[in-house]
């Protein structure tokens, strides 16, 4: 006696019907090709094209030769690195405070909610918020001047500069770190600490020989993600500095509006250089995530 | 205790810029706390126009996203697990192609007629020269930016709910595919859909890069322009944007109970 089987969608289809399975995903792939892959390929091909339309690797070489371009990349890298490390450290300490550090649960909820909000609150409103805080007539500037008698602008500080942009970027960097590290810190099992103490470890030894080695891939991976995050940012930088700080994204923006480099291929090459850096950072993050998952499931 | 110290430091960093914006926005009337800046900002017809437009774009992106991503995720989960890796790779791509690069490519391709390669057959006219075309382009662009979050959200939701069993049960009761998707699957992934939708909303309403390069009359470019020659209204609108973002994120927390999500235009 056989039982009636429910008609399950997944049948063992004869090989000749195999291709029909792929029909259902055609819209998605079509969308991805038209609006993501094709534009990327256009930029890729364009970066190998010279002004006469022929193949050249000259544009790529120019990326490394033209000083202004190297400077732009170096500036972007510096800003991204500073905010990744600074945001990473502050974010880690905050995440630590609400997980292992044992702050009450409502405090943790508030922090997670606010981190979600702050990491999304970027672009034009963030730039304005920082102008209201640290601009020439900003609140903190005023407090420092009137209460502490320190005139930061006279001392050389300028919000519309490298330091100012870093401070502004940090606003969405460290919340992102909190969001990534809180679950990772949760994964630090209490049993490990107890086992370590059982074997006579001091707090320092626990942290340097047990906790940190386990957490390090997560921390590094998250910082790399932060790096990529800052590297690709455009709106915040443009709104804050008006395009005066020549980071790569702003240069590319200028190139899109009008061919300021007098060489379209070079613009594409710059874009490709940026994609390359983002790809490396994403690959690094993925790899470190996989390593960290060994312990921190 | 050190934990409290770090928390208070972090809280200060969060709150000060917001407080500064709020205080600045209340100072429009000299020496008086007033909501004049807010009043003037909301009265501006351009504000209403651009804000509405951005909301409409967000809605269009969300709907188009649901229509595209839900059936795709469903199909892959049910019939085509082989496509899973490729699809996941594609949903990762927008991280590698930030908004400024995406808009660069989109403009270069769609500002001239799209032809079949190596021929002169034109598939369609430049999208950037018509209003409709530009709208299509920007919604598509927003879908690409929101794709990692929206697709993943839907995918995880489907995994949690075990769509395979649900489908089999529905089929055994005689439902057709349309009924299955609209009356069985969609309601069960409500939380994921809402969370993806709210995140998309947060991304689209504040988005500046795509909107300004494609010449779209959206809220982001409007706010930027406002900041070029006014002082109090931009601060007021920035604070309002913050409140909106907070509301969206708060709702997401409510529906998914726990992990925050990070996204957004930078």
Over residues B147-164, the pLDDT tens digits come to 998 998 898 888 888 888
Res A37: pLDDT: 92
- Supply the mean pLDDT for chain B: 86
Pairing state between β B114-115 and B122-124: antiparallel
Q: Which domain holds residue B164?
A: 45-256
Chain B contact present for A20, CB below 8 A? no
User: Distance (Å) from the C-alpha of residue B57 to the closest C-alpha of chain A?
Assistant: 17
Helix B219-229 to helix B232-256 angle (10° resolution) is 150
Chain B contact present for A84, CB below 8 A? no
Which tokens go with B116? Answer: 């079949």
Any idea which of A73-87, A226-240, A257-271, B50-64 has the lowest mean pLDDT? A257-271
Chain A contact present for B105, CB below 8 A? yes
Which residues of chain A have a CB within 8 Å of the CB of B263? 119-120
Alpha-carbon gap, residue A133 to A136, rounded angstroms:
9
Chain A contact present for B116, CB below 8 A? no
What is the CATH classification number for the domain harbouring B179?
Answer: 1.10.3720.10
Q: Do B258 and A119 touch (CB under 8 A)?
A: no
In a domain, A224, yes or no: yes
Q: Using CB atoms within 10 A of its CB, is residue B37 exposed (0-12), middle (13-18) or buried (19+)? A: buried
Chain B contact present for A254, CB below 8 A? no
Q: What percent of chain B has pLDDT over 90?
A: 30
Of A25, A38, A122, the CB nearest to B266: A122
- Supply the mean pLDDT for chain A: 86
In a domain, B28, yes or no: no
pLDDT digit string (tens) for A197-221? 899 888 888 888 888 888 898 899 9
User: Distance (Å) from the C-alpha of residue B54 to the closest C-alpha of chain A?
Assistant: 15
Q: Do A25 and B83 touch (CB under 8 A)?
A: yes
What is the CATH classification number for the domain harbouring A62?
Answer: 1.10.3720.10
Residues in chain B: 266
Cα–Cα distances in Å, from B63 out to A293, B77, B139, B197? 35, 21, 10, 9
User: Distance (Å) from the C-alpha of residue A128 to the closest C-alpha of chain B?
Assistant: 6
Res A100: pLDDT: 83
Q: Do B264 and A279 touch (CB under 8 A)?
A: no
| ipTM metric | 0.86
In a domain, B130, yes or no: yes
Cα–Cα distances in Å, from A189 out to A196, A200, A243, A296, B264? 11, 18, 47, 9, 32
Q: Do A130 and B17 touch (CB under 8 A)?
A: yes
Split into its structural domains, chain B has a count of 1
Q: Do A93 and B6 touch (CB under 8 A)?
A: yes
Which tokens go with A187? Answer: 């994964």
In a domain, B34, yes or no: no
Of A35, A43, A123, the CB nearest to B206: A123
Which residues of chain A have a CB within 8 Å of the CB of B184? none
Chain A contact present for B98, CB below 8 A? yes
pLDDT at B228 over 70: yes
Nearest CA in chain A to B3: A97
Q: Do A119 and B72 touch (CB under 8 A)?
A: no
In a domain, A75, yes or no: yes
Q: Do A97 and B6 touch (CB under 8 A)?
A: yes
Which residues of chain B have a CB within 8 Å of the CB of A26? none
Beta bridge partners of A283: none
Residues 38-57 of B with CB under 8 A from A: none
**Which residue in A235, A241, A254, A259 has the most chain B C-beta atoms within 10 A of its own C-beta, making it the best mutation to test that interface?**
A235
In a domain, B263, yes or no: no
Distance of CA A134 to the CA centre of its chain: 24
Res B59: pLDDT: 94
Residues 155-174 of B with CB under 8 A from A: 164, 167-168, 171-172
- Confidence band, pLDDT 50/70/90 cuts, at residue B120: low
User: Distance (Å) from the C-alpha of residue B143 to the closest C-alpha of chain A?
Assistant: 9
A257-262 contacts at long range (C-beta below 8 A, 24 or more positions apart): A257/B213
Distance of CA B243 to the CA centre of its chain: 16
Coil vs helix vs strand at A8? coil
- Confidence band, pLDDT 50/70/90 cuts, at residue B48: very high
pLDDT at A13 over 80: no
Res B192: pLDDT: 86
In a domain, B261, yes or no: no
Split into its structural domains, chain A has a count of 1
Beta bridge partners of B124: B114
In a domain, A112, yes or no: yes
Res A93: pLDDT: 92
Residues in chain A: 297
Coil vs helix vs strand at A270? helix
Which tokens go with B26? Answer: 């209340």
Q: Using CB atoms within 10 A of its CB, is residue B31 exposed (0-12), middle (13-18) or buried (19+)? A: exposed
In a domain, A52, yes or no: yes
The b-or-e profile of B214-237 (16+ CB within 10 A means b, else e) is bebebbbbbbbebbeebbbbbbbb
Coil vs helix vs strand at A48? coil
User: Distance (Å) from the C-alpha of residue B177 to the closest C-alpha of chain A?
Assistant: 11
Q: Which domain holds residue A145?
A: 41-292
Q: Do A172 and B264 touch (CB under 8 A)?
A: yes
Chain A contact present for B66, CB below 8 A? no
Chain A contact present for B83, CB below 8 A? yes
Q: Which 8-state DSSP code applies to residue B180? A: I
Res A5: pLDDT: 55
- Confidence band, pLDDT 50/70/90 cuts, at residue B118: low
Beta carbons within 8 Å of A141's beta carbon, 6+ residues apart: A134, A135, A152, A153
Q: Which 8-state DSSP code applies to residue A129? A: H
């Amino acid at each position: 006696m056989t039982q009636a089987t429910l008609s399950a969608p997944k049948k063992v289809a004869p090989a000749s019907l195999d291709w029909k399975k792929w029909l259902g995903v055609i819209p998605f792939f079509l969308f991805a090709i038209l609006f993501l892959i094709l534009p990327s390929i256009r930029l890729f091909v364009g970066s190998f094209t010279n002004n006469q339309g022929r193949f050249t690797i000259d544009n790529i070489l120019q990326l490394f030769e033209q000083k202004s371009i190297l400077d732009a990349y170096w500036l972007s890298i510096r800003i991204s690195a500073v905010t990744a490390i600074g945001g990473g450290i502050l974010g880690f300490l905050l995440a630590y405070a609400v997980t292992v550090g044992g702050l009450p649960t409502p405090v943790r909820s508030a922090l997670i909610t606010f981190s979600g909000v702050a990491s999304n609150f970027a672009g034009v409103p963030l730039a304005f918020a920082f102008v209201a805080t640290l601009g020439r007539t900003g609140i903190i500037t005023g407090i420092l001047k009137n209460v502490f008698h320190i005139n930061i602008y006279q001392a050389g500080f300028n919000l519309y500069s490298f330091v100012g942009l870093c401070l502004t970027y940090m606003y969405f960097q460290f919340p992102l770190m909190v969001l990534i590290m809180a679950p990772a810190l949760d994964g630090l099992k209490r049993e490990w600490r107890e086992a370590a103490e059982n074997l006579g470890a001091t707090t320092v030894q626990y942290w340097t020989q047990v906790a940190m080695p386990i957490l390090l891939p997560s921390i590094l991976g998250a910082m790399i993600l932060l790096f990529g995050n800052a590297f690709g940012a455009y709106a915040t930088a443009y709104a804050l500095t008006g395009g005066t700080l020549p980071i790569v994204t702003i240069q590319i923006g200028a190139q899109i509006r009008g061919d300021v480099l007098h060489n379209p291929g070079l613009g594409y090459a710059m874009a490709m250089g940026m994609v390359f850096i983002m790809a490396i950072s994403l690959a690094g993050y993925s790899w470190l995530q996989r390593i960290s998952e060994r312990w921190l499931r | 205790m050190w934990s409290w110290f770090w928390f208070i430091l972090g809280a200060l960093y969060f709150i000060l810029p917001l407080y500064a914006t709020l205080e600045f926005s209340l100072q429009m009337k000299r020496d008086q706390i007033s909501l004049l800046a807010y009043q003037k900002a909301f009265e501006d017809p351009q504000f209403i126009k651009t804000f509405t437009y951005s909301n409409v774009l967000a809605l269009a992106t969300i709907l188009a996203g649901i229509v595209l991503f839900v059936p795709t995720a469903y199909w892959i989960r049910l019939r085509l697990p082989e496509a899973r890796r490729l699809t996941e790779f594609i949903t990762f791509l927008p991280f590698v192609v930030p908004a400024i690069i995406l808009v660069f490519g989109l403009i270069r391709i769609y500002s001239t007629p799209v032809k079949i390669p190596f021929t002169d057959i034109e598939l369609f006219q430049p999208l950037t020269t018509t209003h409709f075309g530009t709208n299509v382009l920007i919604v598509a662009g927003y879908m690409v930016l929101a794709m990692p979050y929206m697709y993943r959200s839907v995918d995880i939701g489907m995994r949690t709910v075990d769509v395979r069993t649900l489908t089999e049960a529905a089929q055994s009761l005689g439902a057709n595919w349309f009924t299955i998707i609209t009356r069985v699957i969609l309601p069960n992934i409500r939380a994921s859909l809402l969370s993806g939708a709210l995140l998309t909303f947060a991304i689209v309403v504040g988005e500046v890069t795509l909107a300004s390069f494609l010449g779209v009359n959206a809220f982001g470019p409007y706010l930027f322009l406002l900041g070029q020659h006014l002082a109090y209204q931009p601060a007021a609108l920035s604070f309002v944007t913050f409140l909106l973002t907070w509301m969206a994120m708060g709702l997401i927390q409510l529906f998914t109970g726990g992990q925050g999500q990070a996204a957004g235009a930078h």
